[in-house]
Structure 1
Amino acid sequence: MGRPRRGVRGAGQLLRWAVLQAAWAAAMGQVRYSVAEEAEAGTVVGRLAQELGVAAAELVSRPLRVVPEGGGGSLEVNAQSGALLVRSRLDREALCGPSPRCALELEVVVGKPPRLFHVEVEIQDVNDNAPLFPEGAQNIFILESRPPGSYFPLEGASDADIGTNAALSYKLSPNEYFAVEEKVNDEQSKSLVLELKRALDREQSQVHELTLTASDGGKPELTGTAQLVISVLDANDNAPVFNQSVYRVRLPENAANGTLVVKLNATDLDEGVNKDIAYGFSNLAARGVRELFTIDENTGEIWLTGHLDFEDRKLYDIKVVATDKSAFPLTGHSTLLVEVLDVNDNAPELRVTSLSVPVPEDAPPGTVVAVISVSDRDSGANGRVSCSIGAELPFRLVGTFKNSQALVLSEAVDRERVAEYEVVVRARDGGAPALWASSRLVVPLSDVNDNAPAFAEAVYTVFVRENSPAGAPLVRVSAWDPDAGANGRVSYGAVERRVGERPLSSYVWVQAESGSICALQPLDYEEVQVLQFEVSARDGGLPSLSGQASVQVFVVDANDNAPVVSPWGRGLGPAWEAVSLSAGAGQVVGKVQAVDADSGYNAWLRYEVQDPLSAGPFRVGVYSGEISTSRALEEADGPVRSLVIVVRDHGEPALSASATVSLSLVESVRAVAWESGPGGGSGGAAVDSNVSLLIAIWSVSGLLVVVIAAWVGVRCCGGPAEACGAGEGPAVCSSGGGSWSSSQQQRQSRLVCVGEGGAKRDLMVFSPVVPSSADNWAAEKQQDATPNPCGTSGRKLSVYQAFPA
C-alpha cells in the first residue's frame, strides 16, 4: 500500500480534532459518582473511561490523569481499565467536616490532544463516629428548695457524622427524681436540660450520681455516656435572673482586640449577700471561648480578646451564668449568640497545572495548555473570583467548572516570531476593596519544520580568469533557516544539469556543509564563457524543505592564444601577381590578415614590419595590416622586395606571429607571392593569371564580402536575442588608436548557459580591465595565503569581482 497523501492525512487529523472538540463540549455537563466514606482500597467508583467515550485500547496512547489528585490522592484512575478507584481511606469528616454535603470535584485530563473533563464524587456518610460528651463528668448543684418542674442546663454530646447518623437521643439511668429532655428555643436552637420530677431532701440524700447516655440514629447505633454528679444544696430561695434569655451580637471578623461585645444584666430578689451577683462563663461554654472573650465578673461586660475569623467559625453560642454570693449560691443562666460578619480579608489563591508544555507551533486553536484552579476563603461577593490574562497573548480562559478554568490556545502561533510566552494569570475577588493574586506561567513553543532555507542573495555573480587550476574556490553561497535543531540545519548541493554534452558535476562541486563552490577543472574562455547553474539548500526536517539560488560564473579571457595569419591562396585574402612601377605614393598593394582566438585587448592586433630598413618604399598599416607605398616606385626599388610582417596582440605578455610577403615590381601586372608561419616563413610561389581572370575573382570576392557583412549585421544588430550555444562572438569595436582586429568576427565562440531562456548578449561585450602583471602577482600571492575551502593545493582562481545580480 502506498503512503497516504499529505492532504488526506491533514484532513483526517482535522476531523479527529473536531470530534474531540464535540466530545469535550458534550462532557462539560460533568460526570457524577458516589461512594461510601469507609470504602476499601480498590473499590470501583465508576467506569470513567466508558463514561468519557475512551476505548480500553486507546488508554495507552490517550492516558487518563486526575489533575489535581482529589482528596489528597484518595482516588486514582486505573491505567488498564480506565476505572476510577479508591486509592486510600476516605474520611468524610476529615474531608468536609460538619458540612451536610461532601463531594470531591476532580478534573480529569485525556491526553493527546489533552482535553479536560470534570467528575464529582459524593462521599456518603456512614455511622463511624459515636456521640461524644465534652466532659466525662458534669457537676450540678441544686437547692433542695427548688420545686419539681425546674430545669437545669446540661452539656450535650456531639457526633461528627451527619443526617440520621448524627441525630442524637438521650436517656438517663433509672431514678425517681430526674429526667432528661431536649428543648427548642425561639431561635430553633436545641438545648439539653435536666428536669426535676420530685422534690429533693438534702437530709435524705446529699448526692445523686446518674449516667447520661447519648445514642445516634445510625444502624447499628453508637452511644456515648457521661456521669452526672448532682449535689443537693441547702435552700437559697431565689436564683439570679437575666433580663434577656438570649443576647444577640454581630461583630465583623476584623474587630479589634478590646472591643466591647455586650454588657450582661441579671437581678436577684434575695437580700444581703444572697443578692450580690458574680458573672462568668458556664462550664458548658464551648472550647476556645475563653481564648477569644473575657468577662468582668462584677460588671458583666464581655470584651473581645482574640482574633475572629469568619472562615473558621461563623457563630459562637456562649453560655453565661450569674451566681449569687450566698454560702449556697444559686445560678441564673443565659445564652450569648455572637454572629461573625465576613470581611474581605482573604486574597484569592491560584494553582496552575501545566498540561501541553511546550506547545507545538502548529497546535490548533482550542488546545488546552494549562488548568487554573482558584479559591477564596471569603464568602458571598468577597469569595467570588474572576480571572484574566494579558490582551496581547494568543491564549484565552475558558470557564470549565465552578472555580476552575482552562488556558487554551486562541490563535495560531509561530515559534520563529515568538519562541515563548509569559502568561500572568490575575485573579480578583468581588470585595470592596478587591483583593488580587497572580501566577506566572511560561509557555515555550516547540519547533515545527515550517520554514524553507532562504539564500542571502537570489543570484551570485563571480568573474574567474580562465586556465585557473582545478580545485580552487569560486564563490561561497549562504542560506539561513529560522527553524531550530535539525529543522534549521542546512546542507547545500548543485542542481544537476547538462552543460553542452557534459554534466554540470564535471565542472563544479558544492561543499554540503559550508556552501563553498569549487571548480573541478580549469575553465577555458574559448570553450565556456558563462557557466550558469542552480544551487539548492535543504534543511534536515521531516519532510525537508529547500530553497534555490542562481550562480553565474563569468570566465575572464587570458592571453593564451597567439595570432594566426590567414593562409593565402585559399580565397581568404586578395592574391597579387605584381606591383606596377607606376604605383603612386599611398597606393594599397596588399593586405595581411590575422586572427586571435582571444578577446578584448588580448585579441587586438598590431602589424609592423620586422626590418623597416628592408621595406624600402613600402609600409604596413599598424591596425589594418594593409601594405601600401610610402612614395612613388622607381626601378631601383625592384625587381623583388620581401617583407617580414610581425603581428602582435595587446596581451600581457604579448604573443606574436609573422608572415613573409614577396612583391615583384614590374612594368605590367604580376602576381604576389605569400608565405606565412608562426615564426616567419619563406615566400610562396606566384600564380600567373591574366587581368580578366583577376578582375573576375575580385568581383566575386567583393560580392561575397558584401553578403557576409550583411548577414553579420542582421545577426548582431537586429532581431531578438539568439539562443545559447555555438554562434558568432561579439564584434570588436574601433577605438581612437585605430580599428580592432576582425578576428572576433571571424572565429567561432560558444556561450554556455544552464537554465531556461537564451543567453544574455550584453554580458558578452563587457570586457573587464585586466590588472597589470604586478597587480596580478600581488593578488595571487594573497590568494595563496588564504585557506582553500575546496581542499586543493593548487593556486586558486583569479576572481576579479563578485556582486549580487
Structure 2
Amino acid sequence: MLTRNSLCLLLWILFDGGLLTPLQPQPQQTVATQSKENVIHLPGRQPHFQRVKRGWVWNQFFVLEEYMGSEPQYVGKLHSDLDKGEGTVKYTLSGDGAGTVFTIDETTGDIHAIRSLDREEKPFYTLRAQAVDIETRKPLEPESEFIIKVQDINDNEPKFLDGPYVASVPEMSPVGAYVLQVKATDADDPTYGNSARVVYSILQGQPYFSIDPKTGVIRTALPNMDREVKEQYQVLIQAKDMGGQLGGLAGTTIVNITLTDVNDNPPRFPKSIFHLKVPESSPIGSAIGRIRAVDPDFGKNAEIEYNIVPGDGGNLFDIVTDEDTQEGIIKLKKPLDFETKKAYTFKVEASNLHLDHRFHSAGPFKDTATVKISVLDVDEPPVFSKPLYTMEVYEDTPVGTIIGAVTAQDLDMGSSAVRYFIDWKSDGDSYFTIDGTEGTIATNELLDRESTAQYNFSIIASKVSNPLLTSKVNILINVLDVNEFPPEISVPYETAVCENAKPGQIIQTVSAADRDLSPAGQQFSFRLPPEAAIKPNFTVHDFRNNTAGIETRRNGYSRRQQELYFLPVVIEDSSYPVQSSTSTMTIRVCRCDSDGTILSCNVEAIFLPVGLSTGALIAILLCIVILLG
C-alpha cells in the first residue's frame, strides 16, 4: 500500500536536483522542511548553504494506524540546523500525546509511536518541538508546532445503522418501481483512498429486486409479481468498501419486503350449484343457509357483496354478507308453505365492493352460482280462517243463543280433525261457551252492556292427531245497547233571570245525557209538558242539535211578586223503544244592572205603606215567616 510517507520519498526521488536555499531564513517561521528521511528541520540561524538536494515545505508527519510491529513505530526526526552533531543540543517534545503516545530521543531527535493508534478514535495529534542548549538550557530557537496525522488503513467495514429494513411495494408493479433506499456508513477516511467508498450489491433477492450500486436504491426487477403467489421476500444487501474491489471489507443487512395487495382477482364460487333444505316453519328474517365465494385478495380488496339475481326467489329470499367470514347469508323474507310450493331456484351474484379499474376493465369482475332450496314439510298446527273474530250481541239476548262461530283447518297433507276450546285464562270463559266440534259460540249468562260493554278472550284450536299442536285466535264481542234508560237533563238544574228581562231572551242552554250506548245519529228533543204550556212565564226552545234554550216570555219579573219559578222540561230520545223523562228546572229572579249582570239574588226587606196599624204589621210579618218556613 502506498502510504503518505512513501509518497514523500517518491516525490523526493522524482524532483531531486540542485537548488540554493535562502541565505537568511526567517527566524519566526514555523513551517519546517521535510526531507526524504522524514525530517523536520527546526528554523534557526544557518550558515550559507551550498547546492543541496531539493526538499519540500512540510509541517506534518504521518504514522500508520493499527501498527502491530514488535518495535515502536518510527515516525520521523526533528533536527535543528544549529545541531553540529557534537552532542550539545537536546530535543524536547510537548503537546498532544507527548510521552504517552509519542517519545523522542533527546539526542538524535528521532520520534517513535509507542502504542498502536486508531484514526477513527483520533485522526491527528498536535505537538510542539524545541531544541535546547544542553549547557545553558536555553532554547536555540523559538518553539515550533507540527502535526502527526494518523494515516488511515482500511480497518472498518461498512455498517447499515438503520437495518434491518422493512419495506413494501404494491403487487403487479412495473419493473423499476421504487421500493426503498438503504445506506451504509464506513468509519474510514473518505478523503483518503477508497477505504470509505462503498458499493452496494444484492446477495440474495434476485431476480425479483435490483439495487443501484452507488445510491443503494432498491427497485423491482420483475414485472407483475403476484402477492397471491408469494407475499414476503427477504433480500440480503451487501455494502463493500474499496469501491467493491478485491480485498475490500463488506457489511450486510436484511430488507424484508412485502407485496401489498391490489384488487386483481375477482371472487369465484367453488361450485356452480348450492343445495339448501329449509323447513316450512322457518320464521321470517331467519338465516336459512350460507354460501361462499373465494377471493384470494386481502383486506378490503377481498370484501364481497352478494346479490340475488331477479327471478324465482327475489321476493321470498334476501342475502347479506357476513363481514367476518365474507359468506353470503340467505334469509327468509316471507313465510314458506310446503303445501303451496316445494322448491325454489334462483341465482346469486358475488362481486367486489372496491374495484381497481386497471384490472376490472379486463373483463367481468364477478361470479354467479345457482341456489336450489327444497322446502321441508313440517307438521303444523291448525290455521284459523281469520286473524281476529269480531261479534255483536244485544244485552237482552237469552242464554244459549249462538252469536257466531270460528273455523280452523289443518293444512298439512294428512289433514286432521280440529277441536276448539276457550282459553280459560281469558275473561270471557264464564259468559260464553263454544262447541268443541263445530266452533260455534253461544251466550252462557245474561249480558248487561252498562256493566261490561265488550268481551275479549281467546279460542284455542288443536289437532286431534296431535293435540300438542295448537293455534290461538282472539275473539272480540261487543255488547249492543237496548234502549232501557230515558235521557236526563244535564246540570245545571237551576238558573236565574233578571227582573228587567225582556221577552224572547235565552237565559240558559241545557243538554241531555243517556246511560244507554247511543248509536250514531241519535237525537234528543226538548219541550214543555202540555199543562205547563198554557200561558207560561218561560218556554223551551229546541235547537235541534241535542241542546235547548230556556226562553223568557214576559216583560220583566218582580221578586216582590214571585222570587222562584219551577219549569218542567220533557226530554225524549230517538231509540227504540222511545224513552222520555221530565226534569224540573228552578229559575230564581235576581236584581241585575243595565248590562244584565246579576247583582243580588238574596231576599230583601219589603217596605209597606206608612199608616198601617201595629196589629196589621204583626199579621203581615207572621205571614212572611209562615211563607219562609
Where on the TM-score scale, by shorter chain, does this alignment land: which range?
0.3 to 0.5
Question: Which structure's residues are more often helix, by fraction?
Answer: 1
- TM-score norm. by structure 1 comes to 0.34
Larger CA Rg, structure 1 vs 2: 2
